Structure 1
Amino acid sequence: MKHIVSRKWLLARLYESDLVIVDCRFVMGQPDAGRAAYEEAHIPGAVYLDLERDLSAPVEPDGHGGRHPLPDAAELASRLSRIGIGNDSRVVAYDDQGGAMASRLWWLLRYLGHENVFVMDEGYSAWVREGFPVNADQKVLIPSAFLATVQHSMLVEADEVRESLGGDERVLVDSRDAQRYRGEVEPLDKKAGHIPSARNKFWKGTQDEQGRFKDAEALAAHFADLPRDKELVVYCGSGVTATPNVLALSEAGFEKVRLYAGSWSDWISYSENPVAMGEE
């Protein structure tokens, strides 16, 4: 696997000097739960980054940018520097939410030009079940220097998505569960449905019954109906759970993959944008 590491891989490298471990646990609807869990216990040496306070910008009043807008690149680079992430750091992110929050940090670091970043498979609970060490110690933060080189090509904005509707140069991939995609339920956003022409690939389909990411061959089979010669634009509700799909597509060898970071919650903030219901 290119971007996913095992618990044993991390355990063997736990105290290597260039390694920065980041706890990304976060529970939607319980904004303080992730930090509280981190303060109670975490992988030794881990620092904490919060989805909404650190890995997202404040929500705009008009809803543009979605429920988890991308953080300002300069502000995020400064935050990474303060917690000890530099351009020479190896970063391993973990969460307890199936890799969704850790994948958000993985994607953001790559967006800032940092390739040496990985997601720990299975997450914190699996680490604990294995009997691997945890503690509540707060790491002494030694600032580093992180210089961002923003990779704008990784990102798609709403106007690009709108302009490509009806064309064949892009394929939209909706990462939400099938009921939300079809518009049968919508627990979080003001409108139900999906972006017209989008194909549904629920992000949890990238994992097996034990919550482990499937291997490259199985992921390639999972995404077999998606074209490799066209640009894939991946979205979800707010740009978070789309990122494990982006990661899995990369593992499966897809090269033309971009993220619509604002996702569905951004799309419906523009009243003129069309909405589709049911299966495509």
Structure 2
Amino acid sequence: MTRETPNADGDAENATRRGLLRAAAGATVAGAASTAGCLSVTTPADVAARNDVSGNVAHFVGPSWLADNREDTVVLDARDPERFREQRIYRARRVPFDAITAREATDDVGEGDVPDTDAIASAFGEIGVTPDDDVLVYGASVGSRVTRVAFALAAVGHEGSIRVLNGGLSAWNGRLGTGSRDRVSPTEYEPDPAASTWVTREWLADRIGTFNGDGPGLVDVRVPEAYLAAAGSDALNADHDRHGHLPGAVDVHWVGNVAGRRMTDPGRLVRLYEVDAELDRSEPVVVYGDDNVDPTSTWLTLKAIGFEDVRLYDGGFGEWANVEGDRGRYPVETATNVVIETEGSVGGDDDGGDFSCTG
């Protein structure tokens, strides 16, 4: 089901006004709804211009920004090794993806899985990244492989700026490279773990009954079929003991954040999360999925449109559904459902795993 319109006309009107005002304040992607070129002839410059970003949007930048700042920016490629060798932005460094998704158990205190910041930092050090580097991440699009790299940098306390290339590699009209990676000297990347970027299973368990009400916002980024525990659906993970969602979570499928190879129009995203999903900017917002890759798309999207305190449940629904011991402390819900309809699709292969593009 979809979220119902608030009973109080004033509440609905105010929420809509906030979203429209925020969109009008300048949250736009240049040319997102326009056609570049003349007589359907498109040049590389046209493609780059269509993916430029302007207005009140954080983290996402277009090809023109990278062209102006290339010499001062470390460029990271989030794609697989084969595509990296075929073609890449010149002097880009490929991120070892398995390493930056690593988790470790906090068994000593029983909190659940958290990002393995030592392993993540070591992976960045191996490709010559230092904590104060200004970094730009790109892939085939702005899918969840790309945003997972951005999250991993934030999780280890990266001091430099973290940006994502809107439009992915196909939007870049600058110099390209091929073959095996360029030689870089490894560094000693000392992590300064930013625990404020994630939450644990116990943090969530302590707040059951408050989400999207008197407490933090909670967003399930999976397809509605998984959230609803739809019987017989291929979206249900056969490895899970239980199906459904965390009590109080609202479902907003993460693919709604992406329009092909670029981010969805920011004004539309503001309406999606602030008006339709009714997320409160004054409270922390937690995102989770089946794994710790896809929800990073929503993590970065919310930060890009101005939500300051956004956190990832790195253990994911897989940890929650299969927890051992007192499962009454970790309930799974199917009776109460709030599904916000989304539309979106991911170009290229930046999905980070199995998903539906139907929105």
What is the TM-score with the length of structure 2 in the denominator? 0.66
Aligned residue number for residue 163 of structure 1: 206
Aligned residue number for residue 121 of structure 1: 166
1:93 touches 1:119 (CA, 8 Å); kept in 2?
yes
Aligned residue number for residue 144 of structure 1: 187
Aligned residue number for residue 92 of structure 1: 136
Note the C-alpha offset of 1:179. Answer: 1.9
2:89 touches 2:177 (CA, 8 Å); kept in 1?
yes
Note the C-alpha offset of 1:187. Answer: 4.8
What number of residue pairs does the alignment pair up? Answer: 262
Aligned residue number for residue 265 of structure 1: 318
Matched, 1:47 2:93: yes
Aligned residue number for residue 151 of structure 2: 107
Cα displacement string for residues 43-90 of structure 1 (whole angstroms, at most 9, x for unaligned residues):
2111112322x2122798xxx999xx6552123222212211112211
Please tell me the residue identity of whatever aligns with 2:189.
F
Matched, 1:196 2:247: yes
What is the TM-score with the length of structure 1 in the denominator? 0.83
1:182 touches 1:277 (CA, 8 Å); kept in 2?
yes
What is the CA–CA distance in structure 1 between the aligned matches of 2:103 and 2:282, rounded to whole Å?
36
Aligned residue number for residue 37 of structure 1: 83
Please tell me the residue identity of whatever aligns with 2:333.
A
2:168 touches 2:262 (CA, 8 Å); kept in 1?
no
What is the CA–CA distance in structure 1 between the aligned matches of 2:104 and 2:306, rounded to whole Å?
34
The share of aligned pairs that are identical, in percent, is: 28
1:56 touches 1:70 (CA, 8 Å); kept in 2?
no
SS at match of 2:285: strand
Aligned residue number for residue 221 of structure 1: 271
149-158 or 74-83: which moved more? Answer: 74-83
Unmatched 5+ stretches in structure 1: 26-33
Aligned residue number for residue 76 of structure 2: 22
What is the CA–CA distance in structure 2 between the aligned matches of 1:242 and 1:276, rounded to whole Å?
19
Which one has a bigger Cα radius of gyration?
Answer: 2
Please tell me the residue identity of whatever aligns with 1:55.
I
1:19 touches 1:92 (CA, 8 Å); kept in 2?
yes
1:112 touches 1:150 (CA, 8 Å); kept in 2?
yes
Aligned residue number for residue 28 of structure 1: none
Cα displacement string for residues 143-167 of structure 1 (whole angstroms, at most 9, x for unaligned residues):
3343322111221101111121112
Cα displacement string for residues 81-129 of structure 1 (whole angstroms, at most 9, x for unaligned residues):
22111122111111236421111111111122214111111223444xx
SS at match of 1:164: coil
Aligned residue number for residue 179 of structure 1: 225
1:99 touches 1:119 (CA, 8 Å); kept in 2?
no
> Once superposed, what is the RMSD of the aligned Cα atoms?
2.7
SS at match of 1:22: strand
Change in Cα spacing, 1:151 to 1:131, as seen in structure 2 (3 Å) is: closer
What is the CA–CA distance in structure 2 between the aligned matches of 1:59 and 1:187, rounded to whole Å?
25
Note the C-alpha offset of 1:227. Answer: 1.3
Please tell me the residue identity of whatever aligns with 1:8.
S
Please tell me the residue identity of whatever aligns with 1:155.
W
Change in Cα spacing, 1:21 to 1:70, as seen in structure 2 (3 Å) is: farther
Aligned residue number for residue 346 of structure 2: none
